[in-house]
Amino acid sequence: MYNTSHELILCIVNTGFSDTVMDAAKEAGARGGTVLHARGTANKEAEAFFHISIQPDKEIVMILVPAEIKDAVLHAIYQYAGLKAEGQGIAFSVPVDQVVGLSAGKPVIDTSSVGEDAPPQSPQDISES
């Protein structure tokens, strides 16, 4: 099992509720996310099991967060957009074993879970390879 420093939170909600998810996530410390449009395939049996009406049009909100705030973000999303809320969302997280990108305007390469074959550590090393 990896000891990861980041988690990817995925939240699937009815169309129109991605802002609710992002507002809740930001209150818990997340900085941003990406919304994808999707279509659900649930059937009447799933509706009966969860005791909800399932709308086919969905939005998937992807939020990359530091592992230490994952639980707080998931809890906030559950409170504002969970199955019992109007958005009828489900949320889950998956570990991320590497992150390359920008954070607060500074390049970030997180290689805490990789061995000696890790990518270069500075932007100069990246541009020279």
Specify the number of domains making up the chain: 2
pLDDT digits (tens, 9 = 90+) for 40-71: 776 777 777 777 666 778 999 999 999 999 99
Q: What is the pTM of this model?
A: 0.70
* Residues whose CB falls within 8 Å of the CB of residue 88, separated by 6 or more in sequence, listed in order: 13, 14, 52, 54, 55, 81, 82
CATH of the domain at 21: 3.30.70.120
Structural domain for 30, as ranges: 6-97
Residues 112 and 126 in one domain: yes
Are 59 and 11 in contact by the 8 Å Cβ rule? The answer is no
In the structure, what pLDDT confidence band is assigned to residue 84 with cuts at 50, 70 and 90?
confident
Compute CA distances 41 → 17, 44, 45, 54, 58, whole Å: 18, 10, 11, 9, 10
The reply to whether 74 and 89 lie within a common domain is yes
On whether both 55 and 109 belong to a single domain, the answer is no
Mean pLDDT of 73-101: 87
Q: Which two tokens stand for residue 91?
A: 């949320």
On whether both 65 and 105 belong to a single domain, the answer is no
